[in-house]
Amino acid sequence: MSNKSRAGALATLGATLGMLGAMIGLAPSAQADACADVDVVFARGTGEPVGLGREGEAFVDALRGALPGKTVASYAVNYPASYDFLKATDGANDASAYLQTTAAACPDTSFVLGGYSQGAAVIDILTAAPGPVLDFTDPLPPAVADRVAAVAVFGNPSDRIGKPLTTASPLFGAKTVELCNGADPVCSPGNDRAAHSLYVESGLVDQGAAFAAGRLTAPVPPAAQLAANVSSGG
């Protein structure tokens, strides 16, 4: 290699190292800025590939579209989503751990919970269990639960037995939209098996996202009005 080529290579290396050094120096700030305005925690349905699932991906996309100017992150609940339905408690524990960790690191982030089919059951356990039950060992502390702005569940098996999350959870019921697609046999007495796979096509996923967006953008009552509501029992 000629002296001129060697000098050029060293200059390029120096510039690259300088850039890397700058990036490393900026890393703490980048990490601090990583907190989103809204974080969606979604549990996929039985047999869906690892990730948010088709319904979860559509839900997050719709919510982003409904919240212009806000950053929306997502977390795919880590659990088997297999036919061993007792493993839904694994998902509830994982979601709880993620929420607690992220809430501590990101004090201004609001959370949205969502789930489809068995994933809806994961959210049921997380939000309606009165405490540790079976293998669910990590209930949400009240301070973290308060940071959950909305819950959206699709094809929820508990609907089929008359225990929808909207009434089963005193803390989360009013924050919840529960959507069953027609005669979907997972969440209704009907027998339209195809309906269970059509939550995106039916528009119900968009409806759930619109509900969550409304909860996130609703005006906060003034402190004086809140105090009046408390004193009057409102």
Angle at 210 between CA 206 and CA 216, to 5 degrees: 145
List, in order of start, the domains of the chain with CATH numbers.
35-216 (3.40.50.1820)
Task: Give the C-alpha separation, 53 to 34, whole Å.
Answer: 24
Average of per-residue pLDDT across 182-197:
97
What confidence category does residue 224 fall into, taking pLDDT thresholds of 50, 70 and 90? very low
Query: Which pLDDT score, from 0 to 100, does residue 130 have?
Result: 86
Can you give the pLDDT at residue 26? 32
Span 90-113, pLDDT tens digits: 999 999 999 999 999 999 999 999
* Residue 129 in this model has a pLDDT that exceeds 70: yes
- Higher-scoring residue by pLDDT: 219, 184: 184
Is residue 18 predicted with pLDDT exceeding 50? no
Give first-to-last CA distance, the chain, whole Å. Answer: 82
Measured distance CA(212)–CA(154) in Å, rounded: 13
pLDDT for the residue 133: 85
d(CA 204, CA 116): 11
Residue reference for tokens 């909305």: 150
Q: Any residues with CB less than 8 A from the CB of 80 and at least 6 apart, and which?
A: 87, 90
What SS3 class is residue 156? coil
Quote the mean pLDDT of the chain: 84
pLDDT confidence tier of residue 218, bands split at 50, 70 and 90: confident
Any idea which residues carry the catalytic annotation? 117, 184, 196
Give tens-digit pLDDT for 41-91.
Answer: 999 999 999 999 999 999 999 999 999 999 999 999 999 999 999 999 999
The pLDDT score that the predictor gives to residue 131 is 87
Whether the CB-CB separation of 126 and 140 falls below 8 Å is answered with: yes
User: Higher-confidence residue: 225 or 175?
Assistant: 175
pTM score: 0.80
